Amino acid sequence: MTAKTILITGASRGIGRAVAILAAQKGWSVIVNYLHNDVAAQRVVDMVRTLGAKSIKIQGDVAREDDVIRVFREASTLGPLDGVVINAGIVAPPLALVDMTLERLQRMFDVNVLGAYLCAREAARQMIKSRGGNGGSIVLVSSIAAVSGSPNEFIDYAGSKGAIDTLTKGLAKELGPQGVRVNAVRPGLIDTEIHANAGQPDRARRRGLNTPLGRPGCAEEVAEAIIWLLSDLSSYNTGTLLDVTGGV
């Protein structure tokens, strides 16, 4: 498999971290973007390097345009980007929409929607052939919540992920002629730290029992799908929404 250089946003934990490790196992160079936890990001960089691959970490808030531009500029020190995983996102404690504050909604959409669009824009600017790029693959991390709507819990999060699905479909058509494929994965109940951040650390394990497979998924299972979409093995896939949900 051809060696690649990939940038992963939100790569210090969960699905992003799992993608970084799997990419390193294939000999790919990995840029680890993170927001706050420098120690966790450095730990991922160290794991990637231990596996024999190149890696750097770059702090940056995806909801800030200046940060996004800087992250992509600094990422080029490892070489031209072949792949970008737009993974950074947030969730908040469960609430019905009637109880959500403007501040919560603003931050949710700033990070999950505006952040994804800014990262996709900068990825396109670096990767499209008309601007000197080599083409490649962009993978966005959506959620099956975009289909279910997550009523009475995370309707804001679900809506933000619906925007990711739309971005995937539209951008695939824009960038296909420029040599860049754009796809998304839609995880279901995955046992990562994001549930604890929303105040329900046992949510995935509890609800995963009701899936056809009878369990939640793990970050590595989602990462395998992302790696496939980044790789040349998925060369005829673009505009694809790939569900990783245990059958939900």
Over residues 141-173, the pLDDT tens digits come to 999 999 999 999 999 999 999 999 999 999 999
Per-residue confidence (pLDDT) for residue 209, from 0 to 100: 82
The CA distance from 243 to 221, in Å, is 11
Per-residue confidence (pLDDT) for residue 199, from 0 to 100: 55
CATH number assigned to the domain comprising residue 190: 3.40.50.720
Residue-averaged pLDDT of the chain: 94
Instruction: Read off the pLDDT of residues 175-223 as tens digits, 9 standing for 90 and up.
Output: 999 999 999 999 999 987 664 555 566 766 767 788 999 999 999 999 9
> What are the residues facing 58 on neighbouring strands?
33
Domain extent for 116:
5-244
* Total of domains in the chain: 1
17 pLDDT higher than 70: yes
For residues 5-19, average pLDDT: 97
For residues 11-21, average pLDDT: 97
Per-residue confidence (pLDDT) for residue 191, from 0 to 100: 87
Residue 34 is among the residues annotated as catalytic for this protein: no
The CA distance from 155 to 109, in Å, is 12
Per-residue confidence (pLDDT) for residue 201, from 0 to 100: 65
> Which of 34, 117, 157, 236 does the annotation list as catalytic?
157
1 pLDDT higher than 90: no
- The reported pTM is 0.94
Alpha carbon 114 to chain centroid, angstroms:
14
Instruction: Read off the pLDDT of residues 56-102 as tens digits, 9 standing for 90 and up.
Output: 999 999 999 999 999 999 999 999 999 999 999 999 999 999 999 99
Higher pLDDT, 211 or 40: 40
